[in-house]
Amino acid sequence: MGVPFMKVLFFASSDHLYRFRIPLAVAVRGEGHEVLFVSPPDPYAVKLAEAGFRWCPLPLERSGVNPFKELITLLRVARIYRRERPDLVHHFTLKCALYGSLAARSAGIRAVFNAVPGVGYIYTSKDLKARLLRPFVNLLCRVGFRGTRMIFENPDNRELFLACGITSRGESCVIRSAGVDTNRFTPSPEVCGTPIVLLAGRMLWDKGIGEFVEAVKLLKRQGVIARFVLVGGCDPENPAAVPRRSLEEWAKTGTVEWWGASEDMPAVYSGVHVVCLPSYGEGGANVLLEAGACGRPVVATDVPGCRQAVKPGENGLLVPVRDAEALAEAIAVLLKDPALRGRMGARGREIAVQEFSEERVVRETLALYRELLGAKWPAAASVPVS
């Protein structure tokens, strides 16, 4: 008997689905099941369709708080779920997970997986708005996630949700990161010339961009010769977005270079010497894993997500969060010692391959599907991931 046909629905932003979940979708399709993507329309959605997957558009404001608009969005999600009747749904990011879970319940879908890459602005920010919204979001999550399977990318975030009463140990697990493509992100020798320190990611204060800029100013006052680069696009929908005018002003004054978003991150990593992520909190810290796969040493903050990707003294250095002086000191250590950078970069490659490969993430995720669905999703002899 062949593998029974099932319909699997993935719901998230298009960029998250395309950048991190295509390998999982390919593996699901390779086992004989249909895959449907649901996401807001944007350029990445076109790429999902070009990869041969069916895609359903859904307008979604990631930071929307207007109750009427959000109710309309939830009703649209529920209408899609009732029309498509998927056998299994897998949601990514907190808002999509919450709305998708409520929609799945209304449609009678029992196989519901919620992946929470990071807890985001609501849980990491100290802003008054975030503190006021947090109890309300906790309540919604307790209701919405009841009876679903929760997947976290680091144990710290799982413990946070357990402490808030949002999930239980029996209904949650950790799959560390979304995985890194170690065939695409590969090591290369350091380039000659002035060393470059990179901070890559969305241009958000929560990524520690403010502390990075302050650290750069400290290093320049100390006479350290290096180039300091930001790579990533603006995210005006996010309450923690760094204003474009600030980025342009820093670039104009020569404090840091801002290269904008890049579609070829392996090429970016190959041209830099140190990768820095002074974040306030991450899910799987993909930037650090990609940097490690490319053989680059890293400096990161000792916070959820980052600490699982960095083995201090082996593949990089950890510093206290929101501490520009400690960040500057750690960057200086690596800038002054090419041999240390080489050793840490080589170890970073080993860790990425052994612990954070896409293949491992796909295998562990499919195992969860089989655990819940049993004979409806039999084990496959092999798992294609590309």
What's 374's DSSP letter? G
Topology of domain 7-179+357-376, CATH: Rossmann fold (3.40.50)
Q: Does 131 have pLDDT greater than 90?
A: no
43 SS3 class: helix
How many angstroms separate the first and last alpha carbons of the chain? Answer: 26
> 135 with 166: CB under 8 angstroms?
no
Q: How far is CA 72 from CA 64, 132, 139, 245, 300, in A?
A: 12, 23, 20, 34, 40
Identify the sign of the CA torsion 373, 375, 376, 380: positive
**pLDDT value at residue 106:** 95
What's 305's DSSP letter? T
Tokens found for residue 106: 């209304």
**pLDDT value at residue 10:** 98
**pLDDT value at residue 63:** 65
> Three-state SS across 191-235?
CCCCCEEEEECCCEHHHCHHHHHHHHHHHHHCCCCCEEEEECCCC
> 309 with 277: CB under 8 angstroms?
no
Q: Which pairs with CB-CB distance under 8 Å and at least 24 residues apart come from 52-55? A: 53/25, 53/29
Identify the residue whose tokens are 């992100």: 185
Proportion of the chain in helix, strand, coil states, percent, rounded to 5: 50, 15, 35
> 276 with 209: CB under 8 angstroms?
no
Nearest Cα residue to 200 out of 147, 140, 279, 125: 279
Q: Does 381 have pLDDT greater than 50?
A: no
**Cα angle 304-306-310, degrees, rounded to a multiple of 5:** 130
Question: How far is 200 from 147, CA to CA, in rounded Å?
Answer: 36
Per-residue model confidence as pLDDT tens digits over 317-355: 999 999 999 999 999 999 999 999 999 999 999 999 999
Give the number of other Cβ atoms within 10 Å of residue 85's Cβ. 11
Tokens found for residue 355: 């612990």
Per-residue model confidence as pLDDT tens digits over 243-289: 999 999 999 999 999 999 999 999 999 999 999 999 999 988 999 99
Per-residue model confidence as pLDDT tens digits over 45-104: 889 988 999 999 998 876 666 778 889 999 999 999 999 999 999 999 888 999 999 999
Pairing of strands 111-116, 316-319: unpaired
| For residues 114-120, average pLDDT | 83
Asked if domains 7-179+357-376 and 196-354 share a fold, the reply is yes
Q: Does 378 have pLDDT greater than 70?
A: no
Point out which residues pair with 149 in neighbouring strands. Answer: 113
Nearest Cα residue to 138 out of 79, 100, 98: 98
Per-residue model confidence as pLDDT tens digits over 133-190: 888 888 989 999 999 999 999 999 999 999 999 999 999 999 999 999 999 999 999 9
Domain boundaries along the sequence of the chain: 7-179+357-376, 196-354
Global pTM value: 0.90
If you classify domain 196-354 with CATH, what class do you get? alpha beta
